[in-house]
Structures are given as structure tokens and as C-alpha cells.
Amino acid sequence: MAQENRDVKAVAEITTRLRRVEGQIRGIQRMIEDERDCEDIITQLMAARAALDKAGLLIVSSHLKQCLRGSSDPELEGSLHRVIELFLKLA
């Protein structure tokens, strides 16, 4: 995203999610060092992956919105908005 076209709210949300994933990864590292149960570690890995996937979807969504900014076709904007919502629900 170009600096002047950034969606400040989206950037803040994405950054927050990535920081949360970073904390989850550190927690997983400690779990491994502490020789925690494999099932518990895998559960935390799945949670971290899901959070990372969500951050990726937010990045894609933000990019698509940036691509449409300035579009004069309200029908196109509405269609893309519905596609983004559906895509985010799948995540």
C-alpha cells in the first residue's frame, strides 16, 4: 500500500493481529522449551496459523478496497464489498 493511500484503521488492525501472532509464537517456543504436551502445542500452532490467515485476509481486503477507491461505479463497489465479506467469512 502506498503511504498516501493507506487505510489507517486497517493498518492498525493488521499490526495488532500480527503482534498477537508474534506473542503466540513466543508462547509456543516456551511450551516447547518446557516440554509441554504435544497436543497442547499443536493446538496453539493451529490458533497462531488461524490468526496469521486472518491478518492475510485483512491485507488482501484492504488492498482490494484501495484498488476500488475512486471508482465511480457504485454497483462494482457493492459487488466487491460483498465478495470481501464472503471471503472473510470463509476464514
Between 38-68 and 8-33, two packed helices, what is the crossing angle to 10 degrees? 170
Are 6 and 59 spatial neighbours (Cβ–Cβ below 8 Å)? no
Domain that holds residue 67: 3-90
pLDDT at 1 over 60: no
Give me the pLDDT at residue 49, please. 93
Could you report the per-residue pLDDT of 28-72, keeping only the tens digit for each?
999 999 999 999 999 999 999 999 988 888 888 787 777 777 666
Q: How many distinct structural domains can be found in the chain?
A: 1
- The pLDDT tens digits of the residues spanning 6-33 come to 688 889 999 999 999 999 999 999 999 9
Contact 55, 35 (CB under 8 A): no
- Residue 83: give its domain's CATH number: 1.20.58.1000
Q: What is the pTM of this model?
A: 0.69
